[in-house]
Structure 1
């Protein structure tokens, strides 16, 4: 009797866990990693090589990266199409008003930004014999690069709170505003921003301009357990949380966060050490850059899709299979774990040409302020916007069918889960840890 009770109770609990996993994409696969390097798991587990083999490399798409100075001549970027905007947007130390260069070979200046560029457009070449660097998920994309942060650099005054001096004062926000404005003028389709900054009316106006023209803005949540900050707080911005190879949320940043759009790879991926060699890095910065690259692949396959339709596809096609759009009520997973394969297999051109991310708590700008029209954006985040209220019966039917399908594999998964050993890992902070 007790044995039967145990089986029923734990089977029901397991099915509940598996259903949640199905909805939010928490069951990951672990094939052999590219080039035998565990830091390239994001490349294998998300089917990037398959996308490239099918001809989708981001070609025809322009991605703007706003970050620290870049070492653009690193071997891992020698085949990338990168245009660096010179100079950068911060002052050279001791000469207010004179801008520092956007390129640098000083690892303290440029490791973080170079890592983000490698994750998007890198070829895997190492700086030293026998080494491998990150393989970019969208190597065919055109990259426009803008330098707005100079943390831990000798030629810029250093403060624990200030990343960019301009005329002797904190110029971080002004530098971001100018770089974002230039990126829009230069024709960016997608803008990757792995940093934190303020949210002034000027920046809000610029975000509104980007959203009005259909540019996809991608940011990350902060690398801590407090609230998100900076670009992540704006409506319309794709905000990424970071997950591990084992489909667990990055522990140091795990928090209920209304701004999170989805979860993407960002824990223990290939970055750079102080000698430009390989090093595992962790944070929402990598998940931001990788997501920008994934969206570029979708855009390259469906060039007529608007930025808004691609964002609609992102939140519709999370997890391992098609499901009703649903937002994690606990606010950890957003709309779920992103799926490159699902997005590439789904034509987004029939989806509404409307950015669905205008329902962040206390978020600005408001939809009608950007587009001069009023529409109904569901505040529950349980449906694509705009639409009628969620059909509860359809949702419950989907859940019921999901439970039936999952039940067939319950015995196998019980054995698998019981035998699976937890992989030891260290949470290595990004080199730009006070950003994202």
Structure 2
């Protein structure tokens, strides 16, 4: 049975009737808000048996999770009583750049992603987290307009925060902000993999204008997640065709999910879709598995994730149809003991091609090795094609040009001297 048909079967039997995705703001009231209990906005919780996992005591307690997003409002009701903290190693020199009370787009996004992991189910959207008792630290990238940054040591904004999260003891790192992959980040991703930290990232959405091949979700060792709806369908492009990302690792619920805040109002909510909302679901699943199997490394947990998709334990096989290894599935993940898997990432076929096995081995032996300089992405150079020059190949031409200029200058000097002599002879003759 194909991944897609298997998903339809599973989701059709486990989820409630599909709801229509809308992007208009919805009032945060039980009477007419799609995020109210019983109105299917959190269909994923029933589909993945989240309630049963919580009833069994698996709530993410004691597991450190890191969220890398732009901004957050940590003072909202949805975070009351949760174990939420803000990183004390800010990317921006102004500590307040990551924390805001303004209900702008990046803040709503970061707040919602965080709430999907540890939210208490109150406030706008009534968002309940999949791992409500996890110890979650928010690592802010700052507002979209940018900020004055602290020294990142040659790492990108993403790499800087990954490094800090690993050093802070995170077992699972998740981000849903699209950023360009950088060779300079290969050492820090290798460092995370060597330390057994699971990195989960959302793939870009259709019509976003993002070049998927350049996104950091394509780096080795990163669990790249794409979103599906409650019927197991991928997102579609403007022309109605499925948005297929061949390098997808797994898929998860990413449609018709409530936001915390909407259009400048923290008391409003909207039903939204996108891979952004699938990534925290997968990260939360890994957090619950990490609680159940505390000795497992992130690499072993990722092996278990890939071996338990679509509701069955199996040998992992990845397809290029946009579903990757299949749908992440919490019940079978929790039944899969990761101790039998090697402490090595199974994700070494990313389109970016880095970090390499040698870089990971070096990180195991030596820890983190900072990049010497911030280098241009391999993909940026390849995209330049014929416009990319080898400076060394220009040296002969430069030398020839200099010699030519010297010859021309000498000729001009001779001409001037001869002219001056003729003028002198002319005056003497007169």
Q: Specify if TM > 0.5.
A: yes
User: 1:114 corresponds to which residue?
Assistant: 111
Q: Tell me the CA shift for residue 83 of structure 1.
A: 1.0
User: 1:285 corresponds to which residue?
Assistant: 276
Alignment of 1:102-141 (within 5 A): 102-108=98-104, 109-127=106-124, 132-141=125-134
Say whether 1:81 aligns with 2:83.
yes
TM-score, structure 2 normalization: 0.72
Aligned mates of 2:16, 2:94 — CA distance in 1 = 50
Contact 1:68 1:149 in 2 (8 A): yes
Contact 1:181 1:206 in 2 (8 A): yes
Aligned mates of 2:155, 2:178 — CA distance in 1 = 9
| Alignment counterpart, residue 38 of structure 1, candidates 22, 40, 46 | 40
Say whether 1:358 aligns with 2:355.
no
Alignment of 1:317-356 (within 5 A): 317-328=308-319, 330-356=320-346
Aligned mates of 2:269, 2:300 — CA distance in 1 = 36
Contact 2:8 2:231 in 1 (8 A): no
Contact 1:25 1:318 in 2 (8 A): no
Change (3 A) 1:267 1:31: closer
Render the CA deviation track for 1:333-375: whole Å, top value 9, x for unaligned.
00001110110112111122221000123421112321259xx
Q: Tell me the CA shift for residue 24 of structure 1.
A: 5.8
User: 2:296 corresponds to which residue?
Assistant: 305
Render the CA deviation track for 1:149-196: whole Å, top value 9, x for unaligned.
413xxxxxx4xxxxx24379xx99743333222212211111011112
Q: Tell me the CA shift for residue 126 of structure 1.
A: 1.4
User: 1:260 corresponds to which residue?
Assistant: 248
Q: CA RMSD in A?
A: 2.7
User: 1:400 corresponds to which residue?
Assistant: none
Equivalenced residues, count: 333
| Alignment counterpart, residue 101 of structure 1, candidates 97, 100, 109 | 97
Alignment gaps of 5+ in structure 1: 1-17, 91-96, 152-157, 159-163, 374-436
User: 1:242 corresponds to which residue?
Assistant: 227
Q: Tell me the CA shift for residue 22 of structure 1.
A: 5.8
Say whether 1:192 aligns with 2:189.
no
Render the CA deviation track for 1:44-69: whole Å, top value 9, x for unaligned.
11100100000000111100001022
Aligned mates of 1:220, 1:204 — CA distance in 2 = 18
Q: Tell me the CA shift for residue 98 of structure 1.
A: 4.5
Contact 1:64 1:191 in 2 (8 A): yes
Contact 1:61 1:299 in 2 (8 A): yes
TM-score, structure 1 normalization: 0.71
Q: Tell me the CA shift for residue 87 of structure 1.
A: 7.1
Change (3 A) 1:322 1:279: same
Aligned mates of 2:154, 2:230 — CA distance in 1 = 33
Aligned mates of 1:174, 1:320 — CA distance in 2 = 37
Contact 1:26 1:248 in 2 (8 A): no
Alignment of 1:412-431 (within 5 A): none
Q: Tell me the CA shift for residue 26 of structure 1.
A: 5.7
| SS at structure 2 position matched to 1:69 | coil
Greater mean alpha carbon deviation, residues 294-303 or residues 178-187: 178-187
Aligned mates of 1:48, 1:255 — CA distance in 2 = 28
Aligned mates of 2:169, 2:121 — CA distance in 1 = 27
Aligned mates of 1:184, 1:135 — CA distance in 2 = 26
Change (3 A) 1:198 1:354: same
Contact 1:196 1:222 in 2 (8 A): yes
Aligned mates of 2:8, 2:199 — CA distance in 1 = 23
| Runs of at least 4 residues off by over 6 Å | none
Q: Tell me the CA shift for residue 259 of structure 1.
A: 2.6
| SS at structure 2 position matched to 1:76 | helix
Larger Rg: 2
Alignment gaps of 5+ in structure 2: 18-34, 364-430
